[in-house]
Chain A
Amino acid sequence: MENFDLKKQTPNLIVMALLVTLPLWINYVSYTQLGTQVVVMGLAAMALNFLLGYTGVLSFGHAAYFGLGAYGAAMTIRYIEPSTGLGVIVGTLAGMLAAMLIGPMIVRLRGVYFAMVTIAFGQVFYFIAFRWNTVTGGDDGLTGWKRMPLDFGFAKLDIQRDPTTFYYFVLVIFVIAVAIMGLLLRSPFGRTLIAIRENERRTRFMGINVNLHIWMSWVISCTFMALAGSMSALLNNFVDPRAFFWRQSGVFVIMCVMGGMRSFWGPMMGAAIYVWLQDYLSSATPNWQSFVGLVFVVVVLFFPRGVMGIIRRKATE
């Protein structure tokens, strides 16, 4: 890490300032829960982009790990111990473990083939959640639980009833996770991942075990995805199999592309736009799905570099 460079830190400072002050201004445009939703989906999109944008691997099955995080958290709180902290930990580890096991089967594959296999593996969890209804609640989802207040012994934090407190809880988790990903990407390890994205053959002939590095990147990405999933379960006090569904994986990818895959904060911006747009559309029209589909088409045809790509191009002109 270089010394503190104000110019390089400007985007980070802007994003942080916006997020920290969000509860103060959000009520003029929307409501706090939607802000929390943006942060959760932003974490998910940035986790996916670790693999998609920085390692160059086309994963279309990330909803599975999001869902594992969500179910892991929900089922822990419902069945094992009504503790938010434990739920988050179990959910995240569940996603990590699944990624570690599935990883070796897919790291040899590339391109659309990788995409197809990841999406197919993702569906396994959808069916488990769907079929195993005595435990998961099946199609109706898992209810009968709530996120619990945090108890640190010396202090209690009521994230259960106060949405603003819960928002800050999610934000703290978000900042820690994003900081870890950011530091990893600036490390020598992160640079080998970018090298793989840039030119796999060259990287291989530098002595890098490409498949192993892709596996590591995959596990890191899926782990943070699961963390985001567990946050999402806490936010809604509810999970259902749709968290796993393959359509959701595509939504995470479009968030990355819409915001800008080559920019660190791009996916966050994409998530913000998507969450807000979906919220608006689903209240405005019963055919909101068509409009979401239209967003996909328009982004692909006209804004393939995303918002950050456009900003960057304007800046260099």
Chain B
Amino acid sequence: MSFLSIENVSKHFGSLIAVDGVSMNVERGELRAVIGPNGAGKTTFFNLITGMLSLTKGRVTLDGQDLAGIDPSKRVSLGMARTFQITEIFPDLTVRENIRIPVEIQAGLRMSPRMPKAMEAPIRQRIEQLLEEGGLTKIAGRLAGELSHGDQRATEIMMSLALKPRLLLLDEPTAGMGDDETYAVARLIRRIHQEEKMTIVLIEHDMRVVFNLADRITVLAEGRPLAEGTPQEITQNATVQAAYLGGEA
């Protein structure tokens, strides 16, 4: 069985069918992009994976474990971390504190009324390492709420990585960014994928990012799966061309 296996999931809101029978299998170490026109149900699909919404039908398993009925906060301990379309960070704390919190949580200190002496050094080391990897060292002392869009996104991604996830879900990581910022964030994602062998699923609008980064692409349209394949296969797929890429590319 695949690392992340999604079997025939559906989500109905009353009579509205937002996601209709989508299956997707993501292998360990793969970078999968989910694309589709607006209203294709991408974010709903994402929320079904992370447990923010409950499934109407179907099954989601991570590394063989069925996720049915598991609360989003518990899915994190199973190795699932995510970012949001609108960046979710701690605006009134510094970047370093933003990173420190998930590092401490990951180290099992969420309930600790004091910092164990033995863990101080390794935790500080890990924070600096994450700041470095995210290119955030220079701005580590600034308040996260005052950063540029791109730096906030990088902070959010590094906060997710601090949890040492096995699967990273990124919801439109470059949404609303200029070219330079998009490039920087895409490079960061590529590095995480290649150097840390992270399994990543991302929703993305920017096709340059998608075709540059993704190992495989899943195309959704009106809540249904339209096609799946390598970037090359997708560009050559006539249905996708007609339904989606034709208008834009």
Contact = CB atoms under 8 A, between A and B. Distances in A.
A–B: direct contact at CB < 8 Å: yes
Interface of A: 1, 183-184, 187-189, 191-192, 194-195, 198-199, 201-210, 213, 262
Chain B interface residue count: which class?
Answer: 20 to 34
Contact of B163 (A184, A191, A192, A206): A206
Contacts of A192: 101, 104-105, 110
Nearest to B156: A202
B51 to A, nearest CB: 10
Interface string B196-224: 00000000000000000000000000000
Contact of A204 (B72, B77, B92): B72
B113 A187 contact: yes
B84 A187 contact: no
Interface in B38-78: 50, 72-74, 76-77
Contact of A207 (B77, B109, B112, B114): B77
B89 A207 contact: no
Interface of B: 50, 72-74, 76-77, 81-82, 84, 88-93, 97, 100-102, 104-105, 109-115, 159, 163
B115 A1 contact: yes
B32 to A, nearest CB: 20
A184 B101 CA distance: 14
A202 B163 CA distance: 12
A191 B114 contact: no
Given A206-B76, A206-B163, A207-B163, A194 B81 contact: no
A205 B81 contact: yes
A3 B170 CA distance: 39
B112 A201 contact: no
B74 A202 contact: no
Given A205-B73, A208-B105, A189 B111 contact: yes
Contacts of B84: 201
B179 to A, nearest CB: 27
Contacts of A207: 73-74, 76-77, 105, 110, 163
Given A194-B93, A205-B72, A207-B77, A188 B88 contact: no
